[in-house]
């Protein structure tokens, strides 16, 4: 018995219908058409282990069902609890990681869902990881804020110390300037005294010299 693919099925069907209309009898005797199973929808699209997923489509009777990461890859086979031509029910197995596709397979090949199924446990883990990530980001942000505050406080402290040093330097400068001014005043006073001494000392010297000359002359 010859088996044909799903693509050939329509061609055979159209040809047989055409020739049946011409001859009045079907010409496809001895040829068995067995189309591949086809998935149209899955429901629900999320759930925990043991959840019964309903697959609707065509040619599903007797098909097996698996949950796979990507079409063409291997995955986890589920237990089929019911199947007919348009409906298949399968239980979600354990060990699924991330969102997966549903695959149905007959002896004529596989077919895959366009929708993905997300295990509830994985959704919860993803949510928990997101919370942890947010908490981590918040912690990092708080640490960064604390570091910024500490750095600002250090800068403020350094600025305050610099102001103190500047004020001390100003005070020292003012004191030095005052000392210089006092020294200048004292120098000026000393110079005045020297001038007076020289002036009075010169007159006294002339007087003394005059006395000495007079005494010499008298002798």
Residue 12 has pLDDT above 60, yes or no: no
In whole numbers, what is the pLDDT of the chain averaged over residues? 80
| Model pTM score | 0.44
Domains of the chain, start order = 1-35 (no CATH), 36-125 (2.60.40.10)
- Find out whether 37 and 106 touch, Cβ atoms under 8 Å: yes
- Find out whether 102 and 41 touch, Cβ atoms under 8 Å: no
- Find out whether 103 and 110 touch, Cβ atoms under 8 Å: yes
pLDDT above 70 coverage of the chain, percent? 74
pLDDT in tens, 169-185: 888 899 999 999 998 99
Tell me the pLDDT band of 215, cut-offs 50, 70 and 90.
Answer: confident
pLDDT above 90 coverage of the chain, percent? 41
Residue 63 tokens read as 């098909």
């Amino acid at each position: 018995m010859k088996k044909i693919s799903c693509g050939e099925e329509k061609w055979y069907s159209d040809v047989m219908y055409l020739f049946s209309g011409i001859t009045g009898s079907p010409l496809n005797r001895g040829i068995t058409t067995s189309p591949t199973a086809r998935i149209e929808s899955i429901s629900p699209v999320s759930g925990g282990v043991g959840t019964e997923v309903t697959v609707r489509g065509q040619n599903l009777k007797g098909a097996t069902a698996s949950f796979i990461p990507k079409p063409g890859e291997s995955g986890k086979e589920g237990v089929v609890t019911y199947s007919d031509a348009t409906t298949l029910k399968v239980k979600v197995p354990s060990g699924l990681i991330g969102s997966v596709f549903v695959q149905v397979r007959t002896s004529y090949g596989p077919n895959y869902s366009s929708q993905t199924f997300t295990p509830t446990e994985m959704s919860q883990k993803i949510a928990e990881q997101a919370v942890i990530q947010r908490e981590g980001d918040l912690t990092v942000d708080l640490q960064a804020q604390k570091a910024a505050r500490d750095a600002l406080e250090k800068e403020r402290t350094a600025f305050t110390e610099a102001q103190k040093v500047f004020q001390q330097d100003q005070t020292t400068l003012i004191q030095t300037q005052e000392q210089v001014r006092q020294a200048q005043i004292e120098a000026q006073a000393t110079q005045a005294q020297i001038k007076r001494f020289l002036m009075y000392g010169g007159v006294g010297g002339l007087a003394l010299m005059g006395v000495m000359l007079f005494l010499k002359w008298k002798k």
